[in-house]
């Protein structure tokens, strides 16, 4: 499955390079939803909430009420996760909180593991948290197995290539696929149809941002592949 991404910052749809530098702004969230109607699911990340710099709650709610959205960014309590589901989110994505066991347990209890996706974002080989601003000491392959009971899938971003349109690291995704039977979604630098096909062969979904927003990949073509 191909999942277009809507990343929100300062009330706008944006694309960042490696989670730091803003590369471009898209249309309004509703304009982007209109462009993405052919896709079964979309991914919405509140970057301000992820980085602890405020939130875009109204926009998140707007998008979640109109599409099957997996929503993340700053989900650090059971209440916040539950509220996102109540606002219409199809599933909730948890990153930083996944590495705080009591918080993760609280979130999984609040919405149920079947509605939870855990984000494993890797930079220079290590999982990064807090909006990719802080590195942990372990690799995604090391922790993925013990996080399985709390979720129904993993969103794995290869941050080193994020937003650079230079391809992703398929070997990393192969290693992750070997490490878990859970649903996997790949993100970070996916640039070509060949990469999407290879991920699909591995049974991995592709979350796309920069390659769509720059027109590198054609939405009509992607929609045809998605059926």
Instruction: State yes or no: is 10 an active-site residue.
Output: no
d(CA 139, CA 121): 9
Let me know how long the chain is: 227
Partnered with residue 156 across adjacent β-strands are: 120, 186
What is the torsional sign of CA 191, 115, 132, 126?
negative
Catalytic residue among 48, 57, 121, 220: 121
Give the chain's end-to-end CA distance (angstroms, integer).
8
Residue 226 neighbours by CB distance under 10 Å = 18
Instruction: State yes or no: is 171 an active-site residue.
Output: no
Catalytic residues: 7, 121
């Amino acid at each position: 499955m191909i999942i277009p991404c809507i990343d929100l910052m300062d009330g706008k749809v944006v694309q960042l390079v490696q989670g730091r530098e803003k590369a471009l702004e898209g249309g309004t969230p509703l304009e982007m939803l209109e462009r993405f109607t052919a896709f079964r699911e979309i991914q919405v990340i509140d970057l301000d909430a992820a980085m602890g710099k405020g939130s875009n709650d109204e926009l998140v709610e707007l998008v979640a009420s109109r599409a099957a959205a997996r929503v993340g960014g700053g989900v650090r309590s059971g209440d916040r996760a539950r509220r996102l589901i109540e606002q219409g989110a199809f599933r909730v994505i948890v990153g930083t909180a996944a590495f705080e066991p009591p918080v993760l347990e609280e979130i999984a209890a609040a919405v149920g593991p079947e509605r939870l996706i855990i984000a494993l974002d890797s930079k220079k080989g290590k999982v990064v948290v807090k909006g990719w601003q802080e590195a942990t000491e372990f690799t995604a392959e090391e922790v993925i197995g013990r996080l399985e009971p709390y979720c129904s899938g993993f969103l794995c971003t290869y941050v080193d290539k994020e937003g650079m349109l230079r391809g992703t690291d398929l070997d990393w995704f192969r290693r992750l696929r070997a490490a878990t039977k859970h649903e996997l979604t790949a993100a970070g630098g996916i640039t070509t149809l060949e990469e999407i096909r290879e991920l699909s062969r591995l049974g991995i979904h592709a979350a796309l941002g920069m390659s769509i927003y720059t027109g590198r990949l054609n939405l009509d073509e992607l929609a045809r592949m998605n059926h």
